[in-house]
Amino acid sequence: MALTILPAIDLKDGECVRLQQGRADAVTVYGADPVEMARHWQAEGGDYLHVVDLDGAFAGVPKHTAIIRRIVQAVDIPVEVGGGLRTTAALDELLATGADRVIVGTRACDEPAVLQDWVQRFGSRLAVGIDARDGHVQTKGWTETSTTRAVDLAAQMQAWGVATIIYTDTARDGMLHGVNAAALKEMCAAVTQTQVIASGGVSSVTDIRDLAALQQPNLAGAIVGKALYEKQVTISALKEAT
């Protein structure tokens, strides 16, 4: 199965930006109109959009719901959304925009009963983002690294019925240093019944070839951000490499 390439749109102060390793003080603005950017990535061949409300992530509550609604309405491809989603009401509101899938962070995993309720309520429209550095889960905006291994947390997510895990290597995010293929292979092997989407470091056709070469049936896609905005690679070239 070919990997799905997911162009990323990160929202901050109403603009389309990218952060370096998730740092709020390392912002590059790539466009004042996120809706137009969404249309652009669809025209370039994107099959699925990955949208993150960065202000929402930092605040703990969604901040760009209106813009996300406009993005969803402007394109014909599915959109997944994350950032600040910590309550059932917030998930309901984002899904009501027409988003295909919502992403909750590892903080949600601190409340197993809540997460399991969300799995029952939202099914495949719910994904869990696992952010890790050197194989260990990071929390609090990537400022703290826990002793929990990412693969162990992922296995727990699978046991609870989570359909999709978005696995971000935070050391590589926004750095254009390539993917951590070994870590992704370990992750996919740990959750064979759950689909995994790779995030962090995709910067070239070679990275996608490396992911495809892992031959992990549950490795479903790769999120691409800075490399597209910096015009280091195109969506069509990445799709050909899958």
| Pairing state between β 4-12 and 219-224 | parallel
Rounded CA-CA distance 12/117 in Å is 30
Q: Distances from the Cα of 6 to the Cαs of 39, 75, 134, 223, 238, in angstroms?
A: 13, 14, 24, 5, 10
On whether the CB atoms of residues 52 and 11 are closer than 8 A, the answer is yes
Q: Is 55 helix (H, G, I), strand (E, B) or coil?
A: helix
Residue 164's CB is within 10 A of a number of other CB atoms, namely: 21
Burial class (CB in 10 A: 0-12, 13-18, 19+), 99: buried
Q: Is 10 a catalytic residue?
A: yes
Q: Among 10, 53, 207, 210, which one carries the catalytic annotation? A: 10
> Token pair of 226, please?
């800075």
Q: Is 60 helix (H, G, I), strand (E, B) or coil?
A: coil
The DSSP 8-state label assigned to residue 31 in this structure reads: E
Burial class (CB in 10 A: 0-12, 13-18, 19+), 95: middle
Rounded CA-CA distance 242/92 in Å is 34
Q: Is 110 a catalytic residue?
A: no
Q: Among 53, 55, 131, 210, which one carries the catalytic annotation? A: 131
Catalytic residues: 10, 131
